[in-house]
Structure 1
Amino acid sequence: MVAFLLILVVVLAVLGGVHWYVWRRLVRDVTAPGGLPRRLGTAVVVALPLLSLAALSSSRAGAPFWFQQVVAWPGFLWLALLLYVTLALIVGEAVRPVLRARLARRDAKAAVPPEAAPAPVPAVEPEPVTVPDAGKPASVSTPVPVPAEEPAPPAVAPADVSRRLFVSRVVGGSAAAVALGTVGYGTYGVLRGPRVKRVTVPLAKVPRAAHGYRIAVVSDIHLGPILGRAHSQRIVDTINSTQPDLIAIVGDLVDGTVENLGSAAEPLARLRARHGSFFVTGNHEYFSGADAWVDHVRELGLRPLRNERVEIAAGFDLAGVDDVAGESEGQGPDFARALGDRDRARASVLLAHQPIVVHDAVRHGVDLQLSGHTHGGQLWPGEYLAELANPTVAGLERYGDTQLYVSRGAGAWGPPVRVGAPSDITVVELASKQA
């Protein structure tokens, strides 16, 4: 508990520091003190993180679904904008001194030095001439020089202030434009829907009859307050267009309860494949009521594989295990139950949400594991963090005699944004070495 509180304090301190930095560069440095723009900018920088906190916590706090939907868009999008505007501003720190130096040199060249002029002659104010009395010689007064007034010391030249303001506005505006463009394009990619990838996986034990067998793999759909029924319908249409032999949904279908999202998942009932559609739990199902969702997808015509195995007529075994997040509820992966008594002469394909269980798959002689969970990092440079917790972030890799394929997923968690990790539905085509 102490460690958790310490981590929480550190995270909040970092977020507070980042927001102060963004406020300083995008509000304080580019607006006049006390003006309306500064007051509005300050209010926005205060309100947006509060909306982000509400978006992150409202579901688990049991808030009404309409409230979750209201805060989700601005709250989650701000998290993505905060990431990219901060990165852009950091890059801008290197640009600031260069830009200011160039402006200073330009101003110096543009300044024309005044032509030399003769020194001013001090004004002479003659003394009044006294008219002498009769009989007395006239006296002429001697001119007395009057010193010229000294010019007032020049005020601080406004050039430096103007340059600083100009540079701050250029760098801040550019950073905001880059962040908005990046997040806008990443949001479009998610709302447009996933694209189809095709991967051929040769398996030594796959019989000739299964050569070219197509498994449509989809993970991390993340139905929730942002991605709803239209999102699931796009995914169903895309999967059906590939005419797969089998469909595998490998976890993280939802971010919410059946009560709130059951209707959003209903298009899954229209999935079509020769050998059916299968489902395994992901960690987010355990945040949303895993048992209720397992029952619901079964009603929609999908077959949940909960630490169990089926024989596919094409000549291989298909197994599925619960996600490791279920261990807290006594429902974690059970490889012995799913794979322990099978005929190892047959090829086996395992559905498991998280790639980290691949080492268990190797020990149980699995030929191919299909996973998701990582989102491919979702937001660059997130893949570098994902690499710290996962053996494979995206794509196909080999571990001993087991091949692991990790999908980037078809949706998005948190911000409905993907940058550098486009969403996908993968058609895995099995290749027999006997063909």
Structure 2
Amino acid sequence: MAVAGLAVTAVVVLALLVGVHRYLWRRFVGDTTAEGSALRRTGTVAAFLLPLLTIGALVSGRTGAPFWLQRVLAWPGYLWLAALLYLTLALLAGEAARPILRRVLAGRANGASRSDRPSVTKVLTPEAADAPAADILVADAPVADTLALPTRRLFVARAVGGAAAVAGLGTVGYGTYGVLRGPRVKRITVPLAKLPRSAHGFRIAVVSDIHLGPVLGRAHTQRIVDTINRTQPDLVAVVGDLVDGTVADLGPAAEPLAQLTARRGSFFVTGNHEYYSGADQWVDHVRELGLHPLENARTEIDGFDLAGVNDIAGESEGQGPDFDRALGDRDRTRAAVLLAHQPVVIHDAVAHGVDLQLSGHTHGGQLWPGNFIAELANPTVAGLDRYGDTQLYVSRGAGAWGPPVRVGAPSDITVVELASRQA
């Protein structure tokens, strides 16, 4: 039954993609170019080639293709995936404007036809003296309007298509710039009732979802490390989804993490993508880079307990989250801060008396309107929330999965400053 369900889903998704690409071809190519023209041929080739590049980008990483091939396919393939979304949304918005624009143009043409219509003067030449009046006073039929109709349709198609292309591709371009520029720093203060006065003002730099891979590499890591170090945090928390690939392919890209500086060190917990990429190898590698993996474990920091649990995806390998191991025997009079990649484990955190959970995973939706979909699967998509006596902070992440594009969900590194109510 599971296989049949996957097959049905695959057929539905394929049919949807074919339908969307057919719609884009019609509006951008079929309605705006002449049959047999070079532009139509080019647009038709692109309509077939671009989705193939996207499929190649999605499949190459999962099938173990050479890393150089993954990088070749990733940029055009993933960018087209984002462009497909925003070009389609822009065209759908343009459908509402299309009939309005046609009526406006038709009204102007009819008005011009009436105002420019010459008065008919009966001038009798010797040859026309005996001709019937009907032969002289010819009715002024709107021939110009009839001839102009195809031209108006072409103008509307090109105007709407051009505006949609500018809006869609402009959105993707701006969203790509936001990712490549690097995350911006956010700062929040979180009061903890059990935090002692001695730990008041303790600063944790939270970074999640870096997603090193065939698109985002060493330069991306270096930007993130430099940004974190400028904040001079007391502790760095890397809360999962560091990579999309193996240590063999991405080890060099992760090396700048060794430059992280914080008074109480840097800590790491796994995300779901680590389990797609060889979690054991990555845990060992980040340890070599100077980070401290918290695999269902905790450590005592200045006045509070810092704990970390493995990601839910580790359950398939017998390495899932174990809250009892990480938090079960601790002194509950002390404040506890938990690193957990996915926000959905918040209810386990509440049950184990956690004061603050730091998470990522959602990307804040990454591509609007993806935030509405993310809300269906996560208790909190971004920002600070409270669940009982436990507060949950969810970072939008510092990178991007798939398309290196963010729209409506800018990347961030968050400096969480803990505040004691005794201060």
| TM-score category (smaller protein) | over 0.9
Contact 1:122-1:148 within 8 A present in 2 as well: no
Contact 1:323-1:333 within 8 A present in 2 as well: yes
- 2:122 maps to 118
- 2:395 maps to 407
Deviations 1:220-271 (A, max 9, x none): 0000011100000010000011111110000000010000000000000010
1:286 to 265, 275, 294: 275
Q: Tell me, in whole angstroms, the C-alpha distance in 2 between the residues paired with 1:200 and 1:428.
A: 6
**Residue 186 (structure 2) pairs with residue 197 (structure 1):** yes
Q: Which amino acid aligns with 2:14?
A: L
Deviations 1:53-105 (A, max 9, x none): 01111011111100000011100000111111111100100000111111111
Q: Tell me, in whole angstroms, the C-alpha distance in 2 between the residues paired with 1:268 and 1:51.
A: 32
Cα drift, residue 155 of structure 1: 10
- 1:186 maps to 175
Q: Which amino acid aligns with 2:71?
A: Q
**Which of the pair has more CA radius of gyration?**
1
SS at match of 1:175: helix
CA change 1:186–1:155 in 2 (3 A) is closer
**Residue 408 (structure 2) pairs with residue 420 (structure 1):** yes
Cα drift, residue 123 of structure 1: 6.0
Cα drift, residue 159 of structure 1: 1.0
CA change 1:120–1:323 in 2 (3 A) is farther
Q: Tell me, in whole angstroms, the C-alpha distance in 2 between the residues paired with 1:430 and 1:148.
A: 95
Question: What's the TM-score once normalised by structure 2's chain length?
Answer: 0.95
SS at match of 2:307: strand
CA change 1:413–1:389 in 2 (3 A) is same
- 2:146 maps to 157
**Residue 97 (structure 2) pairs with residue 95 (structure 1):** yes
- Note the residue ranges of structure 1 that are not aligned, 5 or more in a row: 125-142
Contact 1:285-1:293 within 8 A present in 2 as well: yes
Question: What's the TM-score once normalised by structure 1's chain length?
Answer: 0.92
Q: Tell me, in whole angstroms, the C-alpha distance in 1 between the residues paired with 2:102 and 2:325.
A: 68
1:302 to 283, 291, 298: 291
Q: Which amino acid aligns with 2:122?
A: P
Q: Which amino acid aligns with 1:215?
A: I
Contact 1:324-1:332 within 8 A present in 2 as well: yes
Q: Identity over the aligned pairs, expressed in percent?
A: 72
CA change 1:118–1:79 in 2 (3 A) is same
Q: Tell me, in whole angstroms, the C-alpha distance in 2 between the residues paired with 1:144 and 1:110.
A: 32
Q: How does 1:104-143 map to 2 (within 5 A)?
A: 104-111=106-113, 112-118=116-122
Q: Alignment RMSD, CA only?
A: 2.1
Contact 1:123-1:148 within 8 A present in 2 as well: no
Contact 1:396-1:406 within 8 A present in 2 as well: yes
SS at match of 2:272: coil
Deviations 1:381-422 (A, max 9, x none): 110010000000000000000000000000000010111111
Cα drift, residue 117 of structure 1: 3.7
Q: Which amino acid aligns with 1:207?
A: P
Q: Tell me, in whole angstroms, the C-alpha distance in 2 between the residues paired with 1:344 and 1:144.
A: 112
Cα drift, residue 27 of structure 1: 0.5
Q: How does 1:164-183 map to 2 (within 5 A)?
A: 164-183=153-172
CA change 1:120–1:296 in 2 (3 A) is farther
- 2:45 maps to 43
Q: Tell me, in whole angstroms, the C-alpha distance in 1 between the residues paired with 2:9 and 2:47.
A: 24
SS at match of 2:190: strand
- 2:311 maps to 323
Moved over 4 A (4+): 119-124, 153-156
In terms of fraction of residues, the more helix-rich structure is: 2
CA change 1:103–1:232 in 2 (3 A) is same
**Residue 262 (structure 2) pairs with residue 273 (structure 1):** yes
SS at match of 1:405: strand
Q: How does 1:218-367 map to 2 (within 5 A)?
A: 218-312=207-301, 314-367=302-355
